Chains A and B, each alone.
With several copies, the nearest count.
Chain A
């Protein structure tokens, strides 16, 4: 096995002790930090604005990072990463590397069922009848944290984001047309009225606000 020599470490950033360049790992690490946790692809302009760096510099760094993860650097070859940084529709995001798709798929499918859990069904029901609604409000109604269930429902395309609450800024959720399709109705208005099932739901609003 060749012990390949890496002649030099990555060139150090120009001495910049202000802003992100001064942090451990520098601007490149700052980009990695953001990209590791964002869900939606982010543009170089958004990144440049937040990091207070020129867009050109950010684009350069992004390309360098992408190349590095693929195994190529200015100072020689490195181990390719299991993730890649890709620019999709103008935005940058981390993805798992295509080579590993079989492994990742088997991991994703492991333990998956074709059925929603009771908790997921009930959360979906609350969202259907209270839409558009924030996760916090659904949590208050259900009495438990619903973050992961909401993720599952989104993944299953049964619900989707519907803007932000004007006051709290929280993301609001609504049901999708796929949901209507699965339920076999045309519009949300066709959902059966709740009244016959539950007298006294009218003042539910008070309860919710009070309890959260």
Chain B
């Protein structure tokens, strides 16, 4: 998953589509289009205060409609969106939409995993919103402080002549050519700071779910049920454990394995239920390994190896 790494994964889980990664486009005055708002949280806070709702109690669903029509309005202005910024708006819009939809249904019951995920998404959104509001408030205090301080002027005068004359004679060792070299270096346009945060470190070393599925498949096809603990006993890192876990879920969905668990939180046992011979991890859905362009370049090689 290549989400802008600025986003907590839980919040963005619903909206992979919004975060389609690409090279960051040129910045095209996005701030201007936000008019008075400096970001999605700012907009959301603005809407909440407009309705005189209490941020700690308001159902975010109440302001969803306006939030969404606001970004629709932005879209209709027809300019290009800066993807990484737009994605954050869309993520929040998607969460709000979910919450709004949930409100239309009979309330009070938490029935399935989706409900729980929704609650978590709402809580995360609340938490982030409250956090943002706190910073917005202290930034207001800081701004007033800065303004107040700006009415004082520091004494910042050049050294009186007779003291300046005491300074040791300057040692100068640069030839005109060396000086020019220095100038060239100093005038070199500085590499603009990357607008996209590198994700490479998050994937290093890359772990392929398919590859792990292949390993698990090979072991289980020997016929003996294995515990999850046994299946991850040789994993050399959290990433591998996660990948194996995801692989198990995928394989379960494809109906080639089954789980046994005697009690909640008890040992999880996995056994093979699939065809004996012609199963290959290639038949797994491609949800994990094939998406993002931001995935490490070495991935193709890995697929081949997994075959």
Q: Residues of A at under 8 Å CB distance from B?
A: 35-39, 83-84, 86, 93-98, 101, 104-105, 108-109, 111-119, 121-126, 128-130, 134-137, 139-145, 147-148, 150-151, 154-156, 158, 167-171, 181-185, 190-194, 197-201, 204, 207-208, 210-212
Q: Beyond A143-B128, A167-B201, A170-B197, is A197–B152 a contact (Cβ under 8 Å)? A: no
Bound: A207/B156 CA distance, A:
31
Are the C-beta atoms of A98 and B139 separated by less than 8 Å? Answer: no
Interface residues of B in 124-171 (CB under 8 A from A): 124, 127-128, 130-143, 145-160, 162-164, 166-171
15 further interface pairs, Cβ-Cβ under 8 Å (given A108-B159, A182-B146, A198-B130): A37-B155, A37-B160, A84-B152, A101-B153, A111-B153, A124-B142, A167-B201, A182-B170, A191-B176, A192-B180, A197-B185, A199-B56, A204-B130, A207-B127, A211-B10
Q: Is A151 in contact with B174, judged by CB distance below 8 angstroms?
A: no
* Smallest beta-carbon distance B46→chain A, Å: 12
Q: B113: shortest Cβ distance to chain A, in Å?
A: 20
Q: A128-B183, A182-B172, A184-B145 are in contact. Are A143 and B92 (CB under 8 A)?
A: yes
A141 to B168, CA, bound (A): 30
Of B100-108, B188-196, B207-215, B261-269, the one touching chain A: B188-196
Binding site for A on B (CB under 8 A): 4-11, 27, 31, 38-42, 56, 82, 84-85, 88, 92, 124, 127-128, 130-143, 145-160, 162-164, 166-172, 174-177, 179-190, 193-195, 197-198, 201
Known: A98-B151, A184-B145. A142 touches B186 (CB 8 A): yes
Rounded to whole Å, the gap between the CB of B230 and the closest CB of chain A is: 29
Given contacts A129-B187, A184-B145, contact A144 B167 (CB under 8 A): no
Assembled-state Cα–Cα distance A99/B32 (Å):
36
C-alpha gap A136/B184 in the complex (Å): 19
Chain A residues contacting B11 (CB-CB under 8 Å) are 211
Q: Which residues on the A side are within 8 Å of B152 (C-beta)?
A: 84, 86, 95-98, 101, 184
**Cβ of A144 and Cβ of B40 under 8 Å apart?**
yes
Q: Is the CB of B171 within 8 A of A207?
A: no
Q: How far is the CA of A200 from the CA of B189 in the complex (A)?
A: 10
Query: A197–B138 contact, CB under 8 A?
Result: yes
Given the interface pairs A115-B171, A142-B132, the reply to whether A151 lies near B158 with Cβ below 8 Å is yes
B164 touches A122 (CB 8 A): no
Q: Which residues of B contact A184 (CB under 8 A)?
A: 145, 148-149, 152, 175-176
In contact, B153 and A121 (Cβ under 8 angstroms):
no
Distance in Å from the Cβ of B12 to the closest Cβ of chain A?
10
Shortest Cβ distance from residue B67 to the other chain A in the assembled complex, whole angstroms: 12
Contact among A97, A116, A136, A198 with B146 in the assembled complex (CB-CB below 8 Å): A116
Q: How far is A126 from B169 in the complex, measured between Cα atoms in Å? A: 22
Complex Cα spacing A20 to B136, Å:
37
Closest A residue to B160 using CB positions: A95
Q: Verify A114–B168 contact, CB threshold 8 A.
A: yes
CA distance A117 to B166 in the complex (A): 19
Contacts of A155 in B (CB 8 A): 158-159, 164, 167
B202 to chain A, nearest CB (A): 8
Name 6 A/B residue pairs within 8 A (Cβ), A-sorted: A114-B168, A115-B170, A128-B183, A150-B193, A191-B183, A207-B131
Q: Which residue of B lies closest to A150 (CB)?
A: B193
> How far, in whole Å, are A192 and B145 apart by their CA atoms in the complex?
11
CB distance from B246 to the nearest CB of A (A): 20
CB pair B193 A211 closer than 8 Å: no
Q: Is the CB of A147 within 8 A of B155?
A: no
Q: Is the CB of B131 within 8 A of A204?
A: yes
CB distance from B296 to the nearest CB of A (A): 15
Contact A192 B127 (CB under 8 A): no
Cross-chain contact of A211 among B8, B140, B142 (Cβ < 8 A): B8
Contact partner of A93 (CB less than 8 A), chosen from B84, B139, B155, is: B155
Kindly state the separation between the CA atoms of A118 and B194 in the bound complex, as whole angstroms. 23
A143 to B145, CA, bound (A): 25
Residue from B92, B141, B147, B151 having most chain A Cβ neighbours under 10 A? B151
The answer on a CB contact under 8 Å between A144 and B39 is yes
